[in-house]
Each structure stands twice: as structure tokens, then as C-alpha cells.
Amino acid sequence: MSDVNERRQRQRIMVESAHVPAPAFMLECDNALIAVRDVSLEGFSMHVSTAPDSQTEFRFSLTRSGVDGVVTGRARAVNFVRGATAESGIAGCHVTAFDDDGRERLAQWLSAHVAAVAGVPLTDQEAREIVDGPSLV
């Protein structure tokens, strides 16, 4: 879809899974709430029925359930995988810019999420190192 390498440099954090009973993160784009599959400090993937325009940046607002605040910025779709049903497609998006302190707020949210869902106890520092660290995938 784009000349931007869709492979993220930072670890993708799954925020939608059987271990998370309710959506942990929600995305608002074009006045619609969209479920988020995974998030990293460089991007996110979202459930969409059709491929977004990869030539145009879009505004996004990301929230985390149970936490005040919002992370806003601009992103661009870099890939799209069609799903088995119309509702199950997934678009991978690259964050082109965060507003204000959005990147740091997102890092804090992701660190707390990693620590909360980890199969082994993690310190705050270990969770942050996972979020800041290189992609293992």
C-alpha cells in the first residue's frame, strides 16, 4: 500500500485478546469508534471492512479503558488484510505524528497494559523496556 515499511521497529502489544475481557484500547477515526488489535509506539492495527486510503493521513484519537486522557495524532494506512467476513479486515497504520505528549502517554499506557496481562510478574521498568524495545516478531 505504501513505500513505508509496515514492519514496525518497536514491539507490537496485543490489546485485543482472550486475556482482555473488554476492549482495552479504542480508536476514534472519522467519528466512528473502532476496535484496536495491537498498538506500538509507531503504529496500530484496527478492524475495518475496507482498505483505507493509503495516500492520505488521517486524524486519530486513542483511549484506554479505565484511564483518563487521550492520545491524538495523525496516521497513515500501510497495509490491509481482508478478513473472512466484511467486518473482519485489519488495516495496519503507521503513526506519522503525535500531538503534544501523546507518545509518552501511549508508552505509559502500553507499559501498564503489558504489566497487567503478562504471564509472569514484571516490574514497571521491565514492562517499559518491552514497550520501548525492538520488535521480536
Read off the CATH number of the domain in which 56 is found.
2.40.10.220
Retrieve residue 30's grid coordinates: 472519522
At residue 14, does pLDDT exceed 90?
A: no
Kindly report the pTM of this predicted structure: 0.83
Q: Is 98 inside any structural domain?
A: yes
What span, in angstroms and rounded, lies between the C-alpha atoms of 114 and 61?
Answer: 21
Nearby residues of 16 by Cβ (< 8 Å), 6 or more positions away: 23, 24, 25, 35, 36, 37, 38
Average the pLDDT over 117-130 and give the result.
89
Q: Is 8 inside any structural domain?
A: no
Domain that holds residue 40: 13-132
At residue 3, does pLDDT exceed 50?
A: no
Residue 2 has what pLDDT?
43
- For the stretch 45-93, pLDDT in tens is 988 888 888 899 999 999 998 899 999 999 999 999 888 776 778 999 9
Q: Is 4 inside any structural domain?
A: no
Number of domains in the chain: 1
Contact 73/96 with Cβ under 8 angstroms? yes
